[in-house]
Amino acid sequence: MNAFPPALFKGYLEYKKGKFSDERERYRQLAEDGQSPETLIIACCDSRAAPEIIFNSFPGEIFVIRNVANLVPPFKPDVDYHSTSAAIEFAVQSLKVKHIVVLGHGRCGGIKAALDPDVEPLSPGDFIGRWMDLLAPAAEAMASNQWMTGTERQRTLEHISIRHSLENLRTFPFIAAREREQNISLHGAWFDISGGDLWITEPETGDFFIPEL
């Protein structure tokens, strides 16, 4: 039990011999010059929705925050630790990314929990309960909609959540300012983990669609 997970280490050895070998020079440059990713992706922790896999990324391409249900809290500067806000501040103000993509996905466990009237706190601290409260009004409205199916409520709240995160991004003064100056642009996307389709947010309406290729 104490040994480093063997499957993980085996995967690392495959990577070292394969992909890392091919990218050896790129890694050296990235180490010397530092990273300059153009895109910040805010995604879910879910093991089926990793941005690097979905976007076939190369090292140095994307700066990635991952939390439960790819949420962005509203801007709130105070004396506490704010993990997601700190990472957003670093990406925008230090790395000066040009794009922010909020990437949601189907079958999200956090969204599922937010919709469940009978869900118990996972521990006395109920961290996940408080975290998902970021979606509270919309989640309650969904949960109480007896005419939609479970799948429709799930998918709709996933979409609402992505739009909600985009709005909260705009409560950060430095993001709002850069968006006005057209130095940054915000995008939403939703990945269907079952069929593999990627849906993009239409900027004006917030609707999700599959781009024509």
Residues 124-163 interacting with a second copy (rule: CB under 8 A): 124-128, 130-134, 137-138, 141, 145, 147-152, 156, 159-160, 163
88 interacts with a second copy by CB under 8 A: yes
Enumerate the β-bridge partners of residue 100: 40, 186
Enumerate the β-bridge partners of residue 192: none
10 by Cβ neighbours in 10 Å (0-12 / 13-18 / 19+) ranks as exposed
Q: 3-class DSSP state for residue 181? A: coil
Site for a second copy in 8-27 (CB under 8 A): 8-9, 11-16, 18-20, 24, 27
Provide, rounded to whole angstroms, the least separation between the CB of residue 90 and a second copy: 5
Cα gap 44→98, rounded to integer Å: 21
Task: List the structure tokens of 171.
Answer: 């409560």
199 interacts with a second copy by CB under 8 A: no
Site for a second copy in 176-195 (CB under 8 A): 182, 185, 187, 189, 193-195
Q: List all residues 6 or more positions away from 194 whose beta carbon is below 8 Å from its beta carbon.
A: 106, 107
Provide, rounded to whole angstroms, the least separation between the CB of residue 181 and a second copy: 11
Provide, rounded to whole angstroms, the least separation between the CB of residue 153 and a second copy: 10
99 interacts with a second copy by CB under 8 A: yes
